[in-house]
Amino acid sequence: MINSSHPAISVIIPTYNQAHFLREAIQSVICQTFTDWEAIVVNNYSEDNTIEVVESFKDQRIKLINFRNHGIIGASRNEGVRQAKADKIAFLDSDDTWNSLKLERVLSFFQGQPGVELVCHDEWALVDNRIKNVIEYGPYKNYHGLLFQKNCLSTSAVAMRRDKFLALGGFSEEVRFAGVEDYDLWLRLAKAGGAIAYLHEALGTCRLHEQSFSAKTQQHCDKSLDLLNYHFENWREKTFLIRYLMRKRRADTWRGGAKSYLNRRNHRQASRFLRLALKEDPLALKTWVLIAMNLLRIRI
């Protein structure tokens, strides 16, 4: 039964000039086997036919908000959550999609695990409109693991309790964290003792873009390092081990960028990133292996 005044879950879809993808994203929500939802499309004053696409569905469960986020996607998500009516919220980027069982599976998981405050499922990776592989998220659930190992969640695969989201202040709207504001929220949730769980079933598709790849890789690494340094600075006891773990984590960030450049045969940039990784952690075997692969022009 659909409850328009208090749906079971609110779906937040921020968008900007992606009408061609947005239609697929909304359609994937329409096709859910679980029907007691509302979808809030937060449009950053797109210059394409975004409004026309949203209105074409003629579904009272879909709400359109025009909201200027000034380049901060976290602000759009926060506005969507403020206007949400449900106790649980799920995020869907406008270029991603869900399979039809997504909401049914996630809400069933919450019902069976009442102490869980956030659940993240696996996703299919979509490159050039072709499914490549399943991206498995997890396993880290606590602050230490998320900070010193990796960001192992995806925004379009996350659903969480709205009251916890609001208690944490939502996504950061600081410019320096734009693009990694999701990672910051997961870290703050874990630091506050929030219970994170993983549902290992591919319930969505994550679209991986090639556009402006070089600039985005550099920007993402810079933002990630800013965020890591911020959290490291607030770590209480900076023992020798903690400092070493900090350096390893920074090296891993540079190494991730190097892998991406190596796969696209940009060996000059890959080499630069690997030198930065080596500077942070000279003993990391993974870095040396990538250096050899880069020299031999071997793709991963």
Q: Are residues 96 and 151 in the same domain?
A: yes
CA distance 286 to 259: 11
Q: Are residues 244 and 202 in the same domain?
A: no
Domain boundary among 208, 230, 248: 208
Query: pTM, whole model, 2 decimals?
Result: 0.94
For 37, residues 6+ apart whose C-beta sits below 8 A from its C-beta are 7, 8, 9, 10, 11, 29, 61, 86, 103
Instruction: Give 15-37 as a DSSP string.
Output: ESS-HHHHHHHHHHHHT-S---E
CA distance 164 to 152: 20
User: What is the pLDDT at residue 212?
Assistant: 39
Average pLDDT over residues 293-297: 95
Domain that holds residue 87: 9-208
CA distance 101 to 104: 5
Residue 153 backbone phi and psi in degrees, to 5: -135, 160
pLDDT exceeds cutoff 50 at 211: no
Average pLDDT over residues 242-252: 97
* Any domain includes 300: no
Q: Are residues 93 and 184 in the same domain?
A: yes
CA distance 122 to 118: 14
* Any domain includes 2: no
CA distance 11 to 292: 45
Q: Are residues 92 and 163 in the same domain?
A: yes
Chain segment 91-124, per-residue pLDDT in tens: 999 999 999 999 999 999 999 999 999 999 999 9
Q: Are residues 101 and 49 in the same domain?
A: yes
* Any domain includes 3: no
Q: Are residues 199 and 252 in the same domain?
A: no
